[in-house]
Amino acid sequence: MIIAERKPFREIQDMVAPYGNVLIAGCGTCVAVCLAGGEKEVGLLAAQLKLARNLAGQTGRLGEITVERQCDREFIEPLREVATDYEAVISTACGAGVQFLAALLQDKPVFPALNTTFIGVNEAAGHYTERCRSCHQCYLGITGGICPVTMCTKGLLNGPCGGPIGGKCEVDPARDCAWCQIYERLESQGRLQQIEAILPLHPHSRTTSPGTVIHPAYLRRYAAHE
């Protein structure tokens, strides 16, 4: 899932300082799981802003609403109506959700409350680590389920650099060397010969942003002009 962290409170406070009535729109999917922007976090941010505004003697209404996903038009469509009562909107979604909402509410300022960090996993409650750089070319099948693009600090595709010491990365000795782990994993599964395959240059050209994916079943609908 997408992992995000909440911005410092002061940054959020400054962004919405000129506005009276502000709607805080949460997202109930990835950022809710990583405790950054779900219904609970919307409540906490609203409570904090309310306290700060009371302290500063500011007035204005703070609305709270959380939709299932802000990256889906059908879920954010109702916000168009809700937002009419507010001068500005704070979105606690990832960058994708904030942009989708800002596009929907063309004439209204939409501010991000989070810094989107990476695609990762839930190690334990409150502990998230990166696993995928969404690089458009997955090597996990031949690297024993360990991603060299993400997990190797240098993103090397054909074995380790000369730096690992005792299975640890030379960039940060606290990290495991991804390629040492790949070696061990493949060895334990009896498919070490796979490591000998030379991977071609990584297709960085595919990662030109912004990316677009059209499902083959929908080519007629969306790509007919191509």
Partner 1 sequence: MEASKVISAAPEAEFVPKILALVCTYCTYTAADMAGSARMQYPPTVRIVKYLCTGRIDILHILKAFEAGADAVMVSGCEAGSCHFLEGNLRARERVEYAKKLIAEVGLEPERLEMFEVAASDAPKWVQVVREMTERVEKLGPSPLHRVGASFAQVEAAVQRVVAQ
Return the structure tokens found at 14: 């400054």
Task: Please report how close the Cβ of residue 5 comes to partner 1 at its closest, in angstroms.
Answer: 14
Distance CA 136, CA 61 (A): 44
Q: Which residues contact 203 (CB under 8 A, 6 or more apart)?
A: 136, 137
Q: Does 222 bind partner 1 (CB under 8 A)?
A: no
Task: Please report how close the Cβ of residue 184 comes to partner 1 at its closest, in angstroms.
Answer: 34
In the sheet where 22-27 sits, what is the strand order? 62-67, 22-27, 88-91, 110-112
Q: How many CB atoms lie within 10 A of CB 4?
A: 26
Q: For the chain, how are helix, strand and coil distributed in percent, rounded to 5? A: 35, 20, 45
How many residues line the site for partner 1 (CB under 8 A)? 14
Q: Does 218 bind partner 1 (CB under 8 A)?
A: no
Q: Give the residue, chosen from 14, 40, 80, 207, that forms a contact with partner 1 under the rule CB under 8 A.
A: 40
Pairing of strands 62-67, 88-91: unpaired
Site for partner 1 in 4-23 (CB under 8 A): 8-10
**What size, in residues, is the chain?**
226
Task: Please report how close the Cβ of residue 116 comes to partner 1 at its closest, in angstroms.
Answer: 21
Closest to partner 1 by CB, 50 or 133: 50
Site for partner 1 in 156-185 (CB under 8 A): none
Closest to partner 1 by CB, 99 or 115: 115
Site for partner 1 in 47-86 (CB under 8 A): 47-52, 54-55
The region of 43-51, 85-93, 159-167, 211-219 touching partner 1 under the rule CB under 8 A is 43-51
> Which secondary-structure segment (H or E) carries 9?
helix 9-16
The region of 39-47, 106-114, 175-183, 186-194 touching partner 1 under the rule CB under 8 A is 39-47
Burial class (CB in 10 A: 0-12, 13-18, 19+), 132: middle
The region of 45-53, 67-75, 151-159, 185-193 touching partner 1 under the rule CB under 8 A is 45-53
Q: Does 122 bind partner 1 (CB under 8 A)?
A: no
In the block, residue with structure tokens 């099948």: 141
Task: Please report how close the Cβ of residue 39 comes to partner 1 at its closest, in angstroms.
Answer: 11
Contacts with partner 1, residue ranges (CB under 8 A): 8-10, 40, 43-44, 47-52, 54-55
